[in-house]
Structure 1
Amino acid sequence: MTTRKTDLLATKLHRPRLGKDHLLRQRLLDRLEENLHRPLTLISAPAGYGKTTLLSAWLESCDYSSGWVSLDENDNDLRQFLSYFLAAVQKQFPDSCHKTKALLDASKLPPLPILTHGLVNELDKIDSTLFILVIDDYHTINDKAIHDFIAGLLQHAPGPLYLVLSTRLDPSLPLASLRARGRMTEFRITAIHRRGDLRTQNAGQPLVFRQQTDRRSPPLRSGSRRYHYRGTTGCK
């Protein structure tokens, strides 16, 4: 059988290091920790709001197995994306997902449902209570097949997997459905009211998350939460 292997950059699987002067935002870390029972957390904010730093600090402080993938525009290919996804999993669990790896190495990929269902079954067998996988810079992805893969993965979410997508823009995923079924936690920027003006907080200030309380927004079903960024002079 003809095989086709993808060369990967090992550094894209490394969690970014924290600077010595990074701001410890314990309330944000607590919010992330409180929602581990949902298969997806979406963190959506422009550049400069500390998404990557927050997630790196969280993984450094938690006791669960975790993986990291940093994306860029060159990853808009299903085989390439899945190869990085799988490499992050196998970095923590070397004996897992060999059937999916063989499918990715084949000269022609099987239909997406076969890939997705096979990977779901293999991830479900991982010997771990919880595996956190952070996919950073997901806004660089515009390939429909990749979005369809993530949607299928979340529809049949394997027990150990907790997926975090960090992005500058909302991805082309069934967010309304995930939200309605209580399958997703959201962290976003919120507009704040100051002296009669509706403004968006500057990116240079520290941030906290707050649970959405805007009554004009559609109600969330029980078990689903949506958090928004709000600027502050410090985390108390």
Structure 2
Amino acid sequence: MSRRFIPPAIAAFGEGPEAEQARALARAREDGFAEGRVRGQAEGHAAGLVEGIERARAEAAVEIQALQRRCAETAAPGAVLAALQKVLRTQADDLAALEAASAAAVDAALACLFPVLLQSGAGAEVAAITRTALAERTPATLKLRAHPATLAATATELAAQTAAGHLILNPDANLPEGAAEISWTGGGLAFDPHELLLRVRATLRPPEDTPT
């Protein structure tokens, strides 16, 4: 699938609020197109899988009906039973293949969509985790270490706690964007969305493909 090239607004090449707004609109348009493309692919996979299941069921039903007629007409029930078992095995294999294809489609959708979701939602997630930690340990002072971009995304939501001295922000460019470490006297916790994505994708793999 392709789309007509849409050049960015001329204002995007300048400086100042209008230029920044134009660049933000261009980024939003690109992110929206990427998300729509991934969502369309996932929906197409899902529709194809449903159609395949229905077709397999219909074909199996026809074969089973034919075997049932043969069972009523023949004096060799052993042969009919063997044929029926073969149909059932084939149906089970088709279902396993469809399940594997479905898991692969979801895995591919996650891999494409996750960076977009991380860019838009990581700051809110880190802020929510930090507020929970602060509420559970008041009046202790907590330290939040994260990438500067992640801290910038949480600045508004955590401004009151920072101003009150309950939270100290420690920018660390070595941490990946979206990850965060919250520490206090005697303990701490870490949030790593990339590790979470790996765990989710691992659950989608067949057992024999999962690394030990």
The verdict on a shared fold, with TM-score over 0.5 as the criterion, is no
Bigger strand share = 1
TM-score normalised by structure 1 residue count: 0.20
TM-score normalised by structure 2 residue count: 0.21
